[in-house]
């Protein structure tokens, strides 16, 4: 006899296999943006540096979600002659160190953390622009957002049609209770 409980177990096994298959396309990749892969090691380096600078940890999924957004602003800056060089990012970090807001980095900033901090350099310049310029840039940003190709490792979530990150339904562990029948659906077995 076929029961909801057995069906749930089959579904859990299938999803687990599919989830592992999705990760195997680019093993070790946390996120790919417009064909550029950022590895789990790149993310780990950025997280370590962030903790070193701020004295606070950052959630891995948060950092992975921030990177595509930061890269949208980098592309916007590049396409609109807004200067946001690595040197400017380093100067920005040095100014935060001088203000006592963060600790000095022990070495060069990682590429991922540089991209995330570049957003602050760009935003400071955007904040000084007039409304007309910002309106034009907003249109450019929407076009960039619509065309950006993002592939995120499923353990961090999925990209929705509007380009936002949806938290994963499951990470490395699947809660089988999500597959039990709704007891109000009439006569189906519960997961208990």
Q: Report the DSSP beta bridge partners of residue 142.
A: none
Which whole number is the average pLDDT over 78-94?
97
Question: Can you tell me whether residue 159 is helix, strand or coil?
Answer: strand
Question: How far is 61 from 43, CA to CA, in rounded Å?
Answer: 10
Question: How far is 22 from 4, CA to CA, in rounded Å?
Answer: 26
Q: Where are the alpha helices (DSSP H) in 2-39?
A: 4-23
Contact call for residues 122 and 74 (beta carbons, < 8 A)? yes
Which of 77-86, 94-103, 116-125, 178-187 bottoms out in mean pLDDT, i.e. has the lowest? 178-187
pLDDT digits (tens, 9 = 90+) for 37-51: 999 999 999 999 999
pLDDT at 1 exceeding the cut of 70: no
Helix (H) or strand (E) holding 60: helix 60-79
pLDDT digits (tens, 9 = 90+) for 117-175: 999 999 999 999 999 999 999 999 999 999 999 999 988 877 777 666 777 765 455 44
Question: How far is 153 from 26, CA to CA, in rounded Å?
Answer: 9
Query: pLDDT-derived band of residue 24, with 50, 70 and 90 as boundaries?
Result: very low
Q: Which residues contact 87 (CB under 8 A, 6 or more apart)?
A: none
């Amino acid at each position: 006899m076929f029961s909801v409980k057995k069906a749930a177990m089959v579904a859990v096994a299938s999803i687990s296999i599919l989830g592992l298959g999705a990760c195997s396309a680019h093993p070790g990749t946390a996120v790919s943006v417009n064909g550029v892969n950022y590895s789990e090691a790149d993310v780990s380096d950025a997280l370590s540096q962030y903790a070193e600078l701020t004295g606070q940890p950052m959630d891995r999924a948060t950092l992975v979600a921030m990177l595509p957004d930061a890269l949208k602003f980098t592309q916007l800056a590049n396409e609109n002659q807004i200067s946001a060089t690595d040197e400017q990012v380093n100067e920005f970090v040095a100014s935060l160190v001088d203000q006592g807001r963060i600790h000095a980095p022990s070495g060069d900033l990682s590429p991922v953390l540089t991209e995330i901090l570049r957003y602050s350099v760009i935003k400071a310049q955007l904040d000084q622009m007039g409304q007309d310029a910002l309106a034009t840039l907003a249109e450019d940003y929407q076009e960039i957002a619509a065309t950006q190709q993002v592939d995120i490792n499923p353990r961090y979530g999925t990209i929705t049609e509007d380009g936002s990150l949806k938290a994963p339904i499951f990470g490395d562990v699947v809660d089988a209770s999500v597959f039990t029948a709704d007891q109000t659906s009439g006569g189906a077995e519960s997961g208990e």
